[in-house]
Structure 1
Amino acid sequence: MTSIIPIPVDSYEVTPLSNMESVAVRIGRRLNELTCRLELAWLLVQRDEATRVLEIFEEVRLLSRGLSSDEQCRENWSAVINETRENWICRFGSQWHTENHQTLLNDVFQAEYENSPFSTVEVLSQASSSIAGVVSSIRQSLFAGISPRQQELLAFGYQLDQLRHPASPHRHLQVSHPYGPFRARWDNPDPPLHTKETLRLELDNAESRSVTDTISELRLRWRQLGFPDSSFPELQDSESVDEGISRLECLVPGLGGAEQPRAIEDEVQPYLGLTINGVEVTRLGCETPITVTRQVHLELIHAFLEKGAGFITLGDFEDVWAEMGRATPVRGTIDSELSHIRRCLEPLGLGITNVRNVGWRLVELETISLPE
């Protein structure tokens, strides 16, 4: 690992960022992670990636409130982010996406093992192009309401996160099979075990990729932000990334640590205004609570509240049953219990929606137009 020589922070005149400037960097980092995970979720059709995507949408929405004190700007940003998220959910959970994924695997198989005129990278690039502009609408909306300095810091944060979440992640995907990697054609001209049905796409080891170009661009942005060039950590390769990012955060207080920005602390409240007190479930704005007496129903509602705007998967449901000391439920049992909860929550104006390849989540009844 490349060592970074400790340099006293006081040796450089590095001005701490204001709260709004810090939020700009953190949003930039989240937007890059969102861009990366959107592409991976789209190409790999993995629930974990899809769930993290929805979590980042919500994180960006909350963070955006710390970019400005103008309430109109905040509302506009929130509307754009929510609309973008809902559009993404519809597209990801659509039958068209499912069919598209099968076509993608077929095209990748031909690129890898047959005489296709296209390489695997070209096939993956074409497949991911259909979602290339998902994040741009959010970024453009944010840029329209923040200062030039905040725009520069947001761009710096976006670039900084590429050390951990690469741009164009489809370039780092590899083809694999449960029977092992496909050997070169001249070593194994007739691989009978490799078929379209067994082909898988996986993300290659991130540590093996080069980050030289990203580091060079980061150093340039660092100077443009007015920070001393000599204070920029000596990042050499991906092995020093974590240490280097930590070093940058130490050099510039507020560069993007884990603390919540003060401007959004008062935003935190129960998801959809829903609270549970014993067997009573109440919702902000609804006069009459509902009574839920069965343990499994209370535990499931608790699970939905903990997920917030995120999705619950079949694995999460199995965990709920396990925590109650019960056997793993079959799909029919889960569907039956969810149907009962839907009826219970209707008086509170809430429902449960299911999105293909993603999971279930608690929503306002008026939003249940998503694909079941």
Structure 2
Amino acid sequence: MHMLVRYAMKLGTALLLAAHAHAATPAQPDAECIVPSKPGGGFDLTCKLAQKGMQIVAPKRADAAMHIGYLPGGIGAVAWSAYTSQRRAEADTLVAFSGGSLLNIALGKFGNASVNDVRWVAALAADYGMIAVRDDAPYRNLRELVDALKRDPSKVAIGAGGTIGSQDWIKMALIAKHDRIAPKSLRFVAFEGGGEAFTALMAGHVQVVSGDASEASLHIGTGKIRVLAVLSDARLPGVLANVPTAREQGFDVSWPLIRGVYMGPKVPDADYRKWVAKFDRALATQAFNDVRAGYGLYPFAMTGAELTDYIRQTVDNYGRQVKELGLIR
């Protein structure tokens, strides 16, 4: 009898410990959003925005929130390769993309890549190019910077995400070409993304960053940077509202881009449609609009087949632009 009691007590203790351990183990996230660069910058913002969108759609499932992972390399090329080859059918994995990703497809920087290689889920926001310097830089506006580049381009190091032909390179190339400066004479320093470029700017390793408005929005509140121009058709709302456009300063250059997420090509149709429907619901809410604005991003909402058609047209347009700059034949 005493042995049965002791056994029951031990069994009860074991069950209690097991239940406690189970309760202390956090629920595994339902999904993952992959940032194809190091932390910081526009890709990171895109995944954070997707994460917030899913929390808006299912606020009671905060215990199973979307996880954010990082797979840097080649300005998105490593992630593209992974999810179009080895990880083609992961039904709950999204990968961030931007207009720069689409440009890389047009340039052939993702290898023999095609728009049809992945499943485009949702475009969540618009962003715009911008040119920034440190607050103690001698350049007060875009004209003063371009005049310095015209005098001696070797004295001005320009931090950019990616190498020759990247979207950040093209932004400065278009501005330089507008003033008859040979783009290939510019002194570019390549980084994995906007986060690294701004870190280098703060440290004085580069004098200029060619990047995106959303990235600048993360830093402008520190008082340590000055945004010389935004590459949009009109001034942007929010923290960059006082920054003039390049066009206001005599440079007819605009660089809009979209930010969103894609999935592997072998994701089942039912799972793909599930994600499209989730983002359709999130994008229709005012709460999502507010979060997007808080990240320094701008309205743009498109999903599924409509987005795929838009991306196909955008890649074709980029292909024509890079041919005009002599980047491809």
Normalising by the smaller structure, the TM-score range is under 0.3
**What TM-score, normalized by structure 1, do the two folds share?**
0.21
Higher relative contact order (CA 8 A, sep 6+): 2
Higher-strand-fraction structure: 2
Task: Give the structure with the larger helix fraction.
Answer: 1
